[in-house]
Structure 1
Amino acid sequence: MAAFVAAFVRGLAGFGMAILLVPLIGLVIRPGEAVVVSNMLGLLIGLVGARKVWNVGEKSAGVIGGLAMLMTPLGLLALFATPPAVARVVIAAVAIAAFLLVLLPAKPGHAPGGVETGLTGVAAGLLTGFAGMPGPPVVPYYLRRPIPREVARASMFTVFLLTSTASTAAALALGLASWRDAVFALLLFGPVLIGNHLGGLAFGKVSDALWRGFVGLLLGVSGLLALVRLFG
């Protein structure tokens, strides 16, 4: 059920699956394994409609995603070198930070330069490896600008596909992923596929203002949920 809901949110908002899923399954399995499973799911669902997403999104998504791919292995190594209790705290803090970043005032007419784009890619890669959450730097990068929501959503999808690919490949190459992680991801893929499809249908029926409001609400709820789960 958690996988279905998280995937529905992804299909509607353009992100959020990892933010919702990692803190939850990280309480059942080790945080490192939860991140690996989440990134495997991100890769599988990201391949669905990948060509269409690439054509709609900004070219900046390729730059951010490429840099993130280079940094993801470093974040993954840091995760597996961190005690599980500390990792859970950091992952919860990342979810809260995502909400706070989106609350910052929008920048009408702002066009990010090379430095901002590069830093977004680096941060996305490190957070992909450590928390399975490239969203905190990527979501504000696109949502705080007056671009069409279809472009913002497609751009985020592109970045997340690239980061999921890098994280999965790095986990396999470094011996940090096991066959059990792959089986777990495959078992969850059915609910994820259905939830993502239904979320995509809902995306086409909501207004831009409602969509952006939902994105902010999602980040706030996910951060609160992570804290409740952490201390409860």
Structure 2
Amino acid sequence: MILGLTAAAIATGIAAALVAGIVRGLAGFGLAILLVPVFGLAATPQEAVVAANWLGVLMGFAGLRRVVREAERSAIPISILAVAATPLGVILLGLVPAAPARVLIAFIAIAAFVAVLLPQRPIDHRPTRFETGATGITSGLLTGFAGMPGPPVVPYYLRRALPPSTARSSMLLVFFATSLAGASSALALGVADWRAAIIALLLWPVAFVGNWIGFKAHDRVGPRTWRIVAGLVLGLAAGGAVLKLVQAGA
């Protein structure tokens, strides 16, 4: 055993990190959505969430210059509000037992998929301040509780007529900020210790390779293909979360 994890748990984390890294590089999201439900069955939900946040911090430096250059300005207020709301989600995470936490995390993955299936916004749609603010606050709450800032952020950008590079970079910028806030808040509030950070560090090389593969693939696909892939990612994440939840209860 390494860090108290069995060989099966380590293998599960490595496989999940590789796939999640590829998806992150291609779609701009998916690291936590894919990693937390899977790895959360090998470790406690709290540890899986915090490890995913630490991994998000490490992965956030990959291509950061390009991300900042291409991101939409709305990513800044969303990030600020999300960071402010993250500690509240961390507190909630520390209060909810493991079994209900797994159910809620699976529900979050399903909700993200359903939201993306809603009709596209008109081409001239401009999000209101309320919509932008609500996206930031709920993203922060979900970062702290589930390590998943994506469910409100992905539909915010994916349902609008934005170039894939802009939508992808905007999401990545928000997720970098929320990962940093989630990891530091969990440490400060005592929800998790440095063990989760060490687990993330061990998974980082595999996730980094996957992210590099995804980045290369992103530059070769068209807007329509990219949106289809993004939708499929959320669908698979939702289905996988439900399947693992059923297996855990079996």
What secondary structure, in the 3-state scheme, does the structure 1 residue paired with 2:212 have?
A: helix
What secondary structure, in the 3-state scheme, does the structure 1 residue paired with 2:211 have?
A: helix
Structure 1: tracts of 5 or more residues without a match: none
Q: For residue 181 of structure 1, what is the amino acid of its counterpart?
A: A
Number of the residue aligned with 1:209: 224
Q: 1:199 aligns with which of 204, 214, 218?
A: 214
Q: 1:65 aligns with which of 79, 85, 89?
A: 79
Number of the residue aligned with 1:148: 163
The question of whether the paired residues in 1 share the 8 Å contact of 2:50 and 2:186 is answered with: yes
What is the alpha-carbon distance in structure 2 between the residues aligned to residue 161 and residue 3 of structure 1? Answer: 16
What secondary structure, in the 3-state scheme, does the structure 1 residue paired with 2:121 have?
A: coil
How far is 1:48 from its partner? 1.9
What is the alpha-carbon distance in structure 2 between the residues aligned to residue 172 and residue 83 of structure 1? Answer: 19
CA RMSD of aligned residues (A): 0.8
What is the alpha-carbon distance in structure 1 between the residues aligned to residue 239 and residue 49 of structure 2? Answer: 19
1:39-78 equivalences in 2 (<5 Å): 39-78=53-92
Q: For residue 190 of structure 2, what is the amino acid of its counterpart?
A: G
Number of the residue aligned with 1:96: 110
The answer to whether 1:221 aligns with 2:236 is yes
Q: For residue 218 of structure 1, what is the amino acid of its counterpart?
A: V
How far is 1:113 from its partner? 1.2
TM-score (norm 1): 0.98
Number of the residue aligned with 1:231: 246
Report Cα offsets for 1:16-38 as digits up to 9, x if no partner. 01011000110011101100000
Q: 2:186 aligns with which of 171, 180, 183?
A: 171
What is the alpha-carbon distance in structure 1 between the residues aligned to residue 19 and residue 63 of structure 2? Answer: 20
What is the alpha-carbon distance in structure 1 between the residues aligned to residue 232 and residue 55 of structure 2? Answer: 23
Structure 2: tracts of 5 or more residues without a match: 1-14
Report Cα offsets for 1:140-186 as digits up to 9, x if no partner. 10011101110000000000000001111111211222222121111
Q: How many residues align?
A: 232
How far is 1:52 from its partner? 2.1
What is the alpha-carbon distance in structure 1 between the residues aligned to residue 16 and residue 30 of structure 2? Answer: 12
1:103-118 equivalences in 2 (<5 Å): 103-108=117-122, 109-118=124-133
What is the alpha-carbon distance in structure 2 between the residues aligned to residue 116 and residue 221 of structure 1? Answer: 27
What is the alpha-carbon distance in structure 2 between the residues aligned to residue 91 and residue 185 of structure 1? Answer: 19
How far is 1:207 from its partner? 1.1
What secondary structure, in the 3-state scheme, does the structure 1 residue paired with 2:201 have?
A: helix
TM-score (norm 2): 0.91
How far is 1:119 from its partner? 0.3
What secondary structure, in the 3-state scheme, does the structure 2 residue paired with 1:146 have?
A: coil
Q: 1:161 aligns with which of 173, 176, 185?
A: 176
**4+ long deviations beyond 3 Å:** none
Q: 2:99 aligns with which of 85, 89, 99?
A: 85
The question of whether the paired residues in 1 share the 8 Å contact of 2:139 and 2:148 is answered with: yes
Percent identity among equivalent residues? 54
When structure 1 is superposed on structure 2, of 155-164 and 43-52 the one drifting more is 43-52
Number of the residue aligned with 1:13: 27
